[in-house]
Structure 1
Amino acid sequence: MTDKNQTIEGELIESDEEGATTTPNLPAQTLPSTIYILPLTEKPFFPAQTLPLIMNEGPWAETVKKIGDAGHHLVGLVLVHGDVSDDARPDDFYGTGTLVRMHHPMRSDGKIQFIAEGITRFRVAEWMSGKPPYYARVDYPSETRLGGNGEEIKAYALAIINAIKELLPLNPLYSEELKFLLNRFSPNEPSLLADLAASLTTAPKEKLQEVMEALNLRKRMQKVLLLVKKELEVAKLQSRIQEKVEEKMTEQQREFFLREQLRAIQKELGIAKDDRTADLDLYHGRIKKLKLPQHAAKKIGEEMDKLSGLEHGSPEYTVTRNYLDWLTNLPWGKFTKDKLELVRARKILDQDHDGLDDVKERIIEFLAVGALKGEVAGSILLLV
């Protein structure tokens, strides 16, 4: 079993019609009393569904092979309590699942893929194996309508359909699935309608499992209607949030374009300058007030020429502007007389800094040398 994209030994089933989605109505006497079980982790699989499934090959390849060898190509899908299915034990499974027909099982990159076609609910009566491949004796409970007459059930079905119609324009993510549901099911098929409507919600898996285990149709439809209504409220809230975000973005864009238009008009009238021109004029004004040495004037001139050729808003423009801002703010040509009074310096150090005696001694030594020479000469102290 090493070839990729290889059909599991013993092609499990050939559909009579490619892509068929109708759920088969099997007579009760043809339903197997013992079946192999595969785990689900995200949400339960409902009888109304037909979906592709993927699971790890390692623990479940033998189960899939045995399903093919059984001849009826039927398997039970049951939700597990945890988030990992590969090490699931019988105690991890919920008690109610769905009998499905397996179509086109394929192996690819360590995964098993197949199409699951839901048939009917079942309950696990007895586990006949304690490790994979899991095998169990099951029974197929009958659906009841206790607590509600036909008109009430139909009313619930119509309420679910109306909620779905409201949800359709609000949630494009599920538009195709919702259209399919509305086209396929009517109020005269309330059980399948409720199951598929529940499967399309984003409800927690525990809530969906409650729907799976609800055999009383009236109670099941109550649960499903509540889930669909919650989904509708979330979709409405999401739509309102999206509208507010788009409105804010539109307002910001409008303000930006208006400011750009105003800036362009002011520039044409000669009453405003663009940002780059304004920056250059600012630095030229500062330079006129400075007494720059020749080497500093040359460097600042080079940076000014560089700035004039850069696009405003580019990263390099920002770096160059910050550099010029620093250069033109330095006190060029301004000097102060050095105050090398050692006693006064020590007093200031002791007042402003507690401890650090070694550092203070080094600073006093530096000032003492400067006092002897008569100047400090721009030295920089590095204290390690």
Structure 2
Amino acid sequence: MAAFHAIGAQDGAFPVARILHIRAHASAPRLRFGAEVSMLINKGTASVAGRGLREREHSMGERFTLPVLPLRDTVVYPGVAVPISAGRPGTVEAVQEALDGDRRMFAVAQRENVDDPLPEYLYNVGTVVRIIQTHRVRGGVQLLVQGEGRAQALTYHEEGQSMLQAVLLEMVHQEPQNPNDPAFQALDRELRDRAAELGTRRGVPAEALNQLIQGVDDPGPFADLVAFYLELETANKQELLEMLDDEARMRACLVAVERELARIDAQEDIQAKVQSELGERQREMLLREQLKAIQKELGDGEDRDDLEEMRERIEELRLSEEQRSEVDRELRRLERTSPQSAEYQVIRTFLEWVTELPWNERAEEKIDLERATKILEEDHHGLEDVKDRILEFLAVRKLHLARLNGVDAEETEADAEI
């Protein structure tokens, strides 16, 4: 208890909730691995957990009853201190029941995030916890609880006004048959090293991390500590809690740590690529702004504004990959060419012609031979052979379309003869 008060409690305030900003009804959000404050709490309350375990002398098969502390989005492990905010009426009643007794509760995770934790929404395996400190707040109570040991709920039943109680059976973790086995010691060492690496990658100070890792000598409790700080879904954390075999739990924690490290590696790689891409784009934008300033000094600013407008028009075109590559190449040539050059106007005319074409737009084809004849006679003097050839082409085209559409062939041929 002295270790906890040394953390910084002042004027009866609840330091853990203030530092960690825990806000949930009878729940605690996932904490990042190796949070420095929680490290000090877990280290300082180890003696309290030991005392609680010594006080409990339940043998296998002996049943006992405790008030239930339902948790949302978190799983409490033996040996771990957790700050909790309780606000639901049934939970507050259960806390008061524990405070009036031996201060022990059965902390169990909910299967679903519901406000009314009925027995069917609770897991069967949880952790017996002891209330270390409480602080009454508006709308509920804030707790600091210490996990003592695993237990299985045989039945849940309602007591009092709205709280739940559970008939429990103690669950004892299975230690390895030969703790001195080189393979088991190698597993323990690897889990500690990888957990330390994960804590370092998350920015935990090295001194605090070393104190936490060296403060838990037993492999099984250390695996529980690692499991608590891992960023896993509630169902996955519950699976780790239900593993009684220390070696199996250590292997599962090691796999989870490796996955977390791989995720961090991938995330850092993605961030590096994004930063590199943003750097190239920012450099290009800076150079373009400098180019605009230079062109403005040279009196070319108006022409460059036209280029930006043309660029936007080209980007709106629905072109194939090959077409866009060619158009972009010509646009880059135009940007590098001086407006006073003769080639500048040739490239510009080409690009303007490209932007005016109806790309991927189709209109219904309608051939009017009389109108075509009239246009040819009005706009073109002479060239009779050429005009006749054009009309012949249009007539054949019209006849072909009519046959495809099922129009009367005789009507179409008569029209074509005109």
Pairs within 5 Å for 1:315-354: none
Number of residue pairs matched by the alignment: 261
Pairs within 5 Å for 1:1-384: 17-19=5-7, 20=41, 21-23=44-46, 24-26=49-51, 28=53, 30-31=55-56, 33-70=64-101, 72-84=102-114, 86-127=115-156, 129=158, 132-146=162-176, 149-150=179-180, 151-172=182-203, 175=204, 180-186=208-214, 188-268=217-297, 270=298, 272-273=300-301
d(CA) in 2 for partners of 1:246 and 1:42?
A: 34
- The 3 A distance-change label for structure 1 pair 191 and 146 is closer
d(CA) in 2 for partners of 1:278 and 1:246?
A: 30
**2:175–2:220 contact (8 Å) kept in structure 1:** no
d(CA) in 1 for partners of 2:146 and 2:91?
A: 18
Question: How far did residue 45 of structure 1 move?
Answer: 0.8
Q: Deviations over 1:68-120 (max 9, x none)?
A: 111x2121211121111x32222332222112221332343423321122222
SS of match in other structure, 1:26: helix
Question: How far did residue 161 of structure 1 move?
Answer: 2.2
Match for residue 297 of structure 1? none
Q: Which amino acid aligns with 2:251?
A: Q
- The 3 A distance-change label for structure 1 pair 199 and 134 is same
Give the structure-1-normalised TM-score: 0.60
Q: Deviations over 1:339-358 (max 9, x none)?
A: xxxxxxxxxxxxxxxxxxxx
Question: How far did residue 223 of structure 1 move?
Answer: 1.0
SS of match in other structure, 1:143: coil
Q: Deviations over 1:215-247 (max 9, x none)?
A: 110011111111111111111111111111111
Q: Which runs of 5+ in 1 are unaligned?
A: 1-12, 283-384
Question: How far did residue 157 of structure 1 move?
Answer: 2.1
Give the structure-2-normalised TM-score: 0.55
Q: Which amino acid aligns with 2:76?
A: F
Q: Which runs of 5+ in 2 are unaligned?
A: 8-40, 59-63, 310-418
SS of match in other structure, 2:220: helix
d(CA) in 2 for partners of 1:274 and 1:100?
A: 75
d(CA) in 1 for partners of 2:217 and 2:2?
A: 31
Could you say which structure has the higher helix fraction?
2
- The 3 A distance-change label for structure 1 pair 15 and 135 is farther
**1:170–1:236 contact (8 Å) kept in structure 2:** no
**1:105–1:115 contact (8 Å) kept in structure 2:** yes
Aligned-residue Cα RMSD (Å) equals: 3.0
Identity, in percent, stands at: 25
d(CA) in 1 for partners of 2:53 and 2:167?
A: 15
d(CA) in 1 for partners of 2:4 and 2:217?
A: 27
**2:68–2:108 contact (8 Å) kept in structure 1:** yes
d(CA) in 1 for partners of 2:305 and 2:50?
A: 80
- The 3 A distance-change label for structure 1 pair 80 and 147 is farther
d(CA) in 1 for partners of 2:302 and 2:192?
A: 60
Select between 124-133 and 90-99 the one with higher mean Cα deviation: 124-133
Question: How far did residue 261 of structure 1 move?
Answer: 2.3
